[in-house]
Chains A and B, each alone.
Chain A
Amino acid sequence: EIVLTQSPGTLSLSPGERATLSCRASQSVSSTYLAWYQQKPGQAPRLLIYGASSRATGIPDRFSGSGSGTDFTLTISRLEPDDFAVYYCQQFGSSSLYTFGQGTKLEIK
């Protein structure tokens, strides 16, 4: 089973700053099936990035994804107040098994 490890666990930044969130896989992951989600308290997760780097419908261009193999990154170029939330990476791998990372909480500094 592929394990996804996200870092940092908590990231404290101010609006306007740049956020860089990491997702590291225990073995190589197909970029095609690497996604990022945003979840706010009391809400369902929302798809941000699919295929490692493609923005989902309606997602602002300040969100970008990159990476391949075992190292993937979600970057938020200029943080807005609405961006403070928990972010999860996820992969869909062999044997049709999905794995989520443990999440990174992005909090206001």
Chain B
Amino acid sequence: QVQLVESGGGLVKPGGSLRLSCAASGFTFSDYYMSWIRQAPGKGLEWVSDITSSSAYTNYADSVKGRFTISRDNAKNSLYLQMNSLRVEDTAVYYCARFYGALDYWGQGTRVTVSS
């Protein structure tokens, strides 16, 4: 069965960095676009970034452009999100999701808290 497991969240000070990981299993990872979506406490869903199956193209929300970098390692069935210059407003649960016409499978999320 399809499984996505995020890790790497935690508490970080403003201006700091974190690298999130998403381990995929149960499907041919290299065949699918993948995305990161976040949800601030008590708020709605916000798409963050996506990456094509071969890593040829990446896209970012304006709110994270220039600070976050999405990448993947198809040999390791893993998706990553490098987050630099973190701000208080980046505090959220970060989900990875598979894209196949829609975001059809989601992980359970990893919590990122940016606070001094």
Complex contact B102–A90 (CB within 8 A)? yes
Q: Which residues of B contact A95 (CB under 8 A)?
A: 59
Q: Which residues of B contact A103 (CB under 8 A)?
A: 44-45
Given contact pairs A33-B102, A98-B35, A44 touches B107 in the complex (Cβ within 8 A): yes
Given contact pairs A44-B95, A44-B109, A97 touches B47 in the complex (Cβ within 8 A): yes
A37 interfacial contact with B, CB 8 Å: yes
Among A95, A96, A98, A103, find the residue whose CB has the most chain B CB atoms closer than 10 A.
A98
A45 interfacial contact with B, CB 8 Å: yes
> How far apart sit A52 and B33, CA to CA, in the bound complex (Å)?
20
Q: Which residues of A contact B102 (CB under 8 A)?
A: 33, 35, 47, 50-51, 56, 90, 92
Closest A residue to B101 by beta carbon equals A50
Chain A residues with a Cβ closer than 8 Å to the other chain, count: 25
Q: Which residues of B contact A46 (CB under 8 A)?
A: 106
Interface string of A71-108 (1 = CB under 8 A from B): 00000000000000000101010011111111100000
B50 interfacial contact with A, CB 8 Å: yes
A-B contact sample (14 more), CB < 8 A, given A96-B57, A98-B47, A103-B44 = A44-B107, A44-B108, A45-B106, A47-B105, A50-B102, A50-B104, A56-B102, A88-B45, A97-B59, A97-B61, A98-B103, A99-B47, A100-B45, A101-B44
Given contact pairs A35-B103, A44-B108, A88 touches B50 in the complex (Cβ within 8 A): no
